[in-house]
Structures are given as C-alpha cells and as structure tokens.
Chains A and B, each alone.
Chain A
Amino acid sequence: MSVISYLIPISLVLGGLGLWGFVYTLRSNQYEDPDGDARRILSDEWDDHPRP
C-alpha cells in the first residue's frame, strides 16, 4: 500500500498543473475570441517568428 504515498501526491500535482494551466489561459485573455483563434491557425503570417 506504500505506493499510495507516491500516487496521491502525484495525482494532486498533476491535477494542480491542469488547474494552473487553466488559470493561466484565463488570465491571459485566451478565451476572448475563440472563433478568431480557431481561424488564425490557418494564417501563415507569423509562421517564422511570433508576432512582436
């Protein structure tokens, strides 16, 4: 049963990472324009380097 002492912290950390990721995307306004973001991937405008 000692494996639980690894597994529980691991599951918590992984879940926490997911939560942190969600909070990050929410804080950086990534849900403002879902339609536009879905289309922008088709553009080759900033393929070489990210938009300054």
Chain B
Amino acid sequence: MTAVDPDYLRHQTAVCPGCAAGPTEPVKDAPTEARLAISLPTIHCQACISAVERGLNAVPGVRDARVNLTLKRALIEAEPEMRAADLIPVCEGLGYEAHELDLTALSATEADKAGRDLLLRLAVAGFASMNVMLLSISVWSGATDATRDMFHWISAAITFPAILYAAQPFFKNAWSALRVRRLNMDVPIVLALVLALVTSLWETTLSGEHAYFDAALTLTFFLLAGRYLDHRTRAVARSAAEELTALEVPRALRLRDGVEEEVAVSDLREGDMVLVRPGGRMPVDGEVVSGHSELDRSLLTGETLPVATAPGDVVSAGEVNLTGPLTLRATAVGEETSLHRLADLVAIAESGRSRYTSLADRAAKLYAPGVHILSALAFLGWYLFTFDMRTALNIAAAVLIITCPCALGLAVPAVTTAASGRLFRAGLLVKHATALERLAEVDTVVFDKTGTLTEGQPELVNLDQIPEQDLAVAAALAAGSAHPLAQAIAKAARAANVAPAAVADLREVPGFGVEGHWQGHRVRLGRASWLGAPISRQTMTWLDLGSGAPRGFGFVDALRPGAAETVAALKASGKSVLLISGDSAPAVQDLAERLGLTDWQAEAVPQDKSARVQALSEAGHKVLMVGDGLNDTAALAAAHVSISPASALDAARVASDIVLLGRDLTPIHAACGVAQKATRRIRENFRIATLYNVIAVPLAVAGLATPLIAALAMSTSSITVSLNALRLR
C-alpha cells in the first residue's frame, strides 16, 4: 500500500488485522496457477465488461479473465507469480476503480452449494407437482373406475421418488428435532407428507376415490420455495458482507536483515520487525523501534485526535499510522493481540441476542402441537364413531394436509425477502434473520460519535478569519502531509479556490508538523507545542510565517451526510436518541449541541457503553445501537438490534445485525419504517393463513374435505400470502 488516502482507508478497508487475518493458508506445494479477484465497483454495462476483459487478457501472464457484472468483480486465472497488485493499475488505466479482493475471505460465496441444492429440489418438486396435478384434474373432472385407478397409480409412481428426493431437507430437520425430543415446524410437515402418501397409496390399492398425491407435492413445492427465498436473502447478505471483509487484504511488510518482504499477516511471528508505511494499519501489537509518527486510534477508542508516537512507545493492532514510516517489533500477533482479545468480548455479549424468539418460532410453538392434537382427535373421533380405520386415517390425513403450514412457511420469508431487497437498494445490508422484527420494536437509539455520526474527518471552521495569503502558505505546507488536519486545510483551500503558495524545501517532522521555506522565511505548520502557541480546548493546528506569532486553524469533526436529518427524524417518530462516545467531553458536548441531543455521555470505555445499553434494556427499552469502533462491539452485541457502517472494523460489522453500505445515515430512519411495515405484513400473513384454516379445518374434521378443496385452500392461501408480501417492495 503506497498511496496514502486516509479517506479511502476509513471507508474501504475495514478488517481487523489483529484477527490473524482469516484462516491460515494451507501449505501449497508449487502452485501451477494463481487465482485472483478484483472488485470493480463502477462497472455497469457491456462496454465495461469488454474493455476490462480485453485489457486484462492482454496482460502477459494472465491466462483467463472473466468479469461478473452481478457481483461487480473480475476473476483472473494467471501464472503463479502474478499478483493482483500488478493488475489494479491496468483496470485503473482503463478508467475503472479497482480494489484487490482477498479470495480466501470470499470462499463461501463462490460455491453456493446449499442454494443450488435447494433450487434443484424445488425444480423436481415443481415438475412432479405439475404432472400429477394434470392427472388429478382429470380425476376431479370425473374420471372413474379403471381410468381413475390408472391415473392414481401413475401419480404414485411420480410422487414417491419426487418426494423422497425433494423433501429431504424437511426429513433431516424433523429427525434432528425429534432426536433431541423437540418439535419444530418440520415435524408436522413430515407427518403430513408421510400420512398423505401412506393413505393415498392405501386408497389407490383399494380403488378409492380420494388420493392426496398432488397435495403432498404442492406442499413440498411451496415449502421449498419459502426455504429457497429465505436462503437467497441470507446468501446475498452474506456475500456482500464477505466482499467487505475481502477488500482488506491481510498483508504486512516484514523487515529481515534490512530487506523488506511482503508476507501474509498470519505468517508474522513475535519478535519480527514490521514496517508500517503512512496510511497503513498496525498488523500486530508491538513496540516502536524507529520512526516518529502520529496514530489514528479512533476505531479502537473513539478519540478523534491523532496521538503522537516515538521509539519505545507501544502500539496496538488496528491503529492507523498517519504521518511517518514506523518500524515495530511485534510483541503479540494474531489471536494474542489486544484487538483480538477485545473482539472476544463480543462473543460473551452475543448470547443475549439468541434469547429473542422470532414471530415464526412463536407461531410454530402454538401451531405444531395444535395441529397434532387436532388431527389425533379427528382420527380418534372418527375411529370411535365408525370403527373404520381407513376412514379415520383418511380424515386425519386430510386435517394434517389442510392445516399444513404452507402459508406459514411462506409468510415470513416472502416478507423478509421483499423488505431486505428494498433495504439493500437503499444501502442497508440485513445480515440477521430476525433483525427486521427486532428493528421494528426499537424505541431507543444509541449512537457512537466518531466514525458514526461524524466522518472521523476534521473540517476547517474559521476559514473566514484567515487571510488568503496565510491560507495559501498553509495549503502548500499541508500538501506535504497525510495528516487528517493537513488534508482538511488542503481541502478547504481548494474549496475556497486558493492556490498553494510557492513553498520550497517541504519537510515533514513526524509527530510535530510540516516545515518549509517561503520568501526566505522558515515557515511551519503543526501542533501548538512545536510553535509555542497556547494550548486550547478546541482541535487546532498552527501556522508560523516566521514572525513568531502563530495563527490558529480551528477544526470540528465533520458530520456524516444525513446525520442531522436522521437524528431529527428519529426523534420526531418518538424514539429517544442518546450519544455515547469514548471521546473527550467538550468534543461530545459540541456535537450533541449541533444535533440537538440532550442525553450524551463522554469518555465512555467499552464496558461503560455496553453497561449503559444493558441498563436501558433492563429498564424495558428496546435499544438500537449504531456504532463502528472496536470500543462499540460489546454494546453492539448487547443491544436489541445493531447497525454499523461499512467503514467499521470487521469485528464491529460481525457483531451488528445490519450494515450501512453508503456514507449517508438517512437509510437508518427509513429502515425503521420498513421494518415496522414488514412486521405488520408478517402478522397479516399469519392472520390470512389462520383464516383459511378456520374455514377449511371444520370441513376436514367433518370429513367433507376432498383433495380438490385441499389443493384450492393450500394454493390460494400461499399465493395470497406471497402477494401480500410483494406489496412491500
């Protein structure tokens, strides 16, 4: 990583390098080819595909390059010594933004075996049910005697193998639930399928009138459709989340006998000398051996201001080096780093989340025993009434099939698919299955400050008090540094159309500032102590034109776009909004006043944050936590539901239920609305499904249900439920 663009770093690379950076790579013996992946976020049409493929294929060493437009990614097979870093300039030369992707982090996306498996079963169930339905319709239209028997036999011949193959997921789930003596939604499904098949076969051998082959297949088809939708939503979210992780490739520069070599972070050992260039993230915990610089620790502690560092200082994995190159001696690597130990806190807090029972589970808990009791009673009643095993079994099967949770199985996935799709287009990635339901209940929102409500990027505030000449010199000096305050000055100068002055001999004094020569004077831009300026509470940097009277440049942390609107909208919808930050009190107070927040807490350590969230939860509030740093992860995991921006550390993103993909915060408020609507739709769907049962079950218990009525009730309820869900899009 040579280019230093802190903005890019904050918003694009966000993996915690301390987490040993993914799985340890397997030992490879002489690879014959390299597989590389490049993310191309700006490609959008056929011309882009052609240009990139032609460009990449023309590079010597590339064997095959193929662009996937859906994933906005290029996959390249190349000679083993090829590096993705060699190909990035090629794509950028063609005019496309390109980032290297870590293929090991993408592994799960590559082969979506489970999804393909479900789709195959769905296709078989669909094929079989259409064929059997054709035969069944002939029977319902009046086929009798030998014709009816033949149709039933053919249906049986199609149905048995089809169900044996297609319904396997239900068999497996039901078995694993029964083995631990539990009931889940799949137990009544399997019971209905088995009972329907057995009674239908029995009826067929006796040349009976009622066979439920078509019902068993349609049931399987609708239920598989629900499962597939559910899986698909989850897979899309997972692949997008993986892409975020894969964007930071875990590599580090190791110094061995004075020679730099690029190695995987997982290969670093204690005692290794590691070089961290400006803009790079610390891969390990360590001690600074040489170099002066400043560190951005905002992701770990929430502090906005960079901290100076010098030889002998201790640094932690995850901090970002800002100004000068640093050489570290690694004192802790991989899982030993403080970053990783902090991330472990999350696992403890996570258990609180699993206590939430989803609407579907609550429905299943009522439903499963109810159905079993109902059909057992129907069987018993009819058996005692007629002493005819065949009639009683037939009616019990009819009850089970009619009550079967087709609509219930579709009710939740259809709605969450529609809602997640809508939120994804708005820039929110819903990772957790029950996140929407939980989001709908939220009444308290807790925000982190740095990196969440603010950009973590300073913004010059006293531009109007600075003479143009001073600004021109400051801009020239600032161009020599990657320090966030310097960048802010350069940006403000550009915005004010002030051209940098001609400053010669630019030299960065790491940890202090930048100096140079301008019109024969030594000019300096840097921290107060270096220039002998008064120390103030505000974030300031100072410019000395050689006169000995430094001029101050004041900064505030820039708000994220949409922050003010989001806070206002959340308050307007009756939610209480809190601000808890690890930053100093004046900075937090200033931001709270700008946003009109009265409830704020400063200098909070991670434990304070999660304790506050837990206290709110115990007081009966449903808390939405929005945060990005490692110091937020425990609070994110402890909250009822949590959101983190894509620029957050990997650990924070993993701990949260929803990831905000863009920089704008406004989708958060929209998401609350969508979540409430989605929950309302789910409840409506349950009501629709219940209504159908209330009408159809008495018919079934009374022995009046025919396979035609069963098929009608099942299909209509499933279709109504799906259409109702589509209203959400």
Contact = CB atoms under 8 A, between A and B. Distances in A.
Interface of A: 1, 4, 8, 11-12, 15-16, 18-19, 22-23, 26, 32-36, 39-40, 42-43, 45
B225 to A, nearest CB: 15
B124 interface: yes
Q: Is the interface of A mostly helix, strand, loop or mixed?
A: helix
Interface string B68-82: 111100000000000
Interface string B49-79: 1100000000000000001111100000000
Contact of A36 (B67, B120, B123, B135): B67
A27 B506 CA distance: 61
Contacts of B158: 12
A11 to B, nearest CB: 7
Nearest to B53: A45
B160 to A, nearest CB: 15
* Residue in B70, B71, B147, B158 with the greatest tally of chain A CB atoms within 10 Å: B70
Interface in B118-144: 119-120, 123-124, 127, 130-131, 134-135
Contacts of B119: 26
A16 B127 contact: yes
A35 B69 contact: yes
Contact of B70 (A19, A22, A23, A32): A32
B71 A33 contact: yes
A7 B116 CA distance: 32
Contact of B154 (A1, A8, A23): A8
Nearest to B134: A11
A4 B546 CA distance: 103
B127 A18 contact: yes
Given A26-B123, A33-B68, 15 more contacts: A8-B135, A11-B131, A15-B130, A15-B131, A18-B127, A19-B124, A22-B123, A23-B120, A32-B68, A33-B69, A35-B69, A36-B49, A39-B45, A40-B46, A43-B49
A33 B70 contact: yes
A42 to B, nearest CB: 4
Contacts of B127: 15-16, 18-19
10 contacts: A4-B147, A11-B131, A12-B158, A22-B123, A26-B116, A32-B68, A32-B70, A35-B69, A35-B70, A42-B46
Contacts of B154: 8
Interface string B90-121: 00000000000000000000000000100110
Interface string B26-64: 000000000000000000011001100000000000000
A41 B119 CA distance: 25
Contacts of A22: 123
A36 B131 contact: no
A36 B120 CA distance: 23
